[in-house]
A and B are shown apart, each in its own frame.
Chain A
Amino acid sequence: MTVQFTIDGLEVKAKEGEHLLDVARRHGIDIPSLCHHEAVEPIGACRVCLVEVRSGQKTTITTSCNFLVEDGIEVHTDTAEVRKHRAMNLELLLARAPKSDVVRKLASASGVTRTRFEPLAYEPLPNCILCELCVRTCDMLGHHALTTVGRGDKKRIGLPFNKPSDNCVGCASCLSVCPTQCISVKDTPTQRAIWGQKHDFILCKVCGAPVITKKHRDFAISEKGLPEDYYDTCEKCKQSAASKRFASVVW
């Protein structure tokens, strides 16, 4: 079923069950957010993607990432209330992640250039904003190698049972999706160090450059079914091999 409503006066259509933020972005309306990613379910952690939703007599401030669209609602993305509360949540996040460019940029776009709160000494991941994108992505990928630990002001991103997880394949997707890039991944030509353990790379059979980690490949083989030799050569060497092969076919 489709529903129809307005965002900042613009008439939009969407499917029932869609989330407001996705619909808005599809229509070119930007709502800032930090913990949203299309590949995973929204959880409404950062509280930045706030909008005002009017429905009948009721006006509520709500996060748009996890708001299911409804017929006939009136959405406003930039009211004074929205700006005020968004600024406060960003000020809280700025105190948590003072070194993150993304957070600083969003905050200053909301007029927040400094925070009135004390800096938070946050271990083990300074600048982590607890958006849980790393955990959610790792879960979505089927690895379940990360988790949140504790609750409330003690909540942290960590490892299940507080030790390096056998499930971790070293793909570093957690770093890729991390808005503040606060996860430590260190690559050498043969190994990747991540989340307290080292993973061996598969080395290109031609030039010896790292391709992906062995464990990542093994996971991919068992899950995705492509044979082992798909993963044994690096991008560049595959490219030149392909060029040569094609050249010999066409000419």
Chain B
Amino acid sequence: MQITCLQCVEAACAKVCPAGALVRNEETGAIEVLANRCVGCGLCEAACPFGHMHFDTQLRLAVKCDLCGGTPTCAAFCPHDALEIR
């Protein structure tokens, strides 16, 4: 089974981020990467217990699921309707 970011309440990624680049979007509840604040240290990827923070070595930035601003594309695109948001 594939899981995606749990948007943890006490998110490890946000806790370790030294630049304040991981913040919760109060509307969607998702933890988002503020790309302009991210300094690309990679600590968040190492710290996320579920393997859902990703450090993009090309962009040299953290990237993660942000629930696509409330309407996740993964759910919309899933051919088997196996994904739904509740």
Contacts and interface: CB of A to CB of B under 8 A. Distances in A.
Contact of B49 (A137, A141, A211, A238): A238
User: Contact size class for A?
Assistant: 35 or more
A113 interface: no
B42 A39 contact: no
Contacts of B47: 220, 224, 226, 230-231
Interface in A209-250: 211-212, 216-217, 220, 223-226, 230-231, 233-244, 246-247, 250
Contact of A242 (B34, B43, B50): B50
Contacts of A231: 46-47
B2 interface: yes
A239 B51 contact: yes
Contacts of A176: 38-41, 60-61
User: Which of A171, A217, A233, A247 lies at the interface centre, i.e. has the most chain B CB atoms within 10 A of its CB?
Assistant: A171
Given A140-B18, A141-B18, A173 B50 contact: no
User: Which of B15, B36, B46 lies at the interface centre, i.e. has the most chain A CB atoms within 10 A of its CB?
Assistant: B46
A173 B1 contact: no
A38 interface: yes
Contacts of B18: 140-142, 223
A37 interface: yes
Contacts of A226: 12, 15-16, 47
A36 to B, nearest CB: 9
Interface string B12-52: 10011011110000000000001011111111011111111
A200 B34 CA distance: 29
A193 interface: no
B6 to A, nearest CB: 9
Given A224-B15, A243-B2, A38 B37 contact: yes
A236 B57 CA distance: 15
Interface of B: 1-3, 12, 15-16, 18-21, 34, 36-43, 45-54, 60-61
Closest 3 CB pairs of A and B: A176-B40, A239-B51, A238-B51
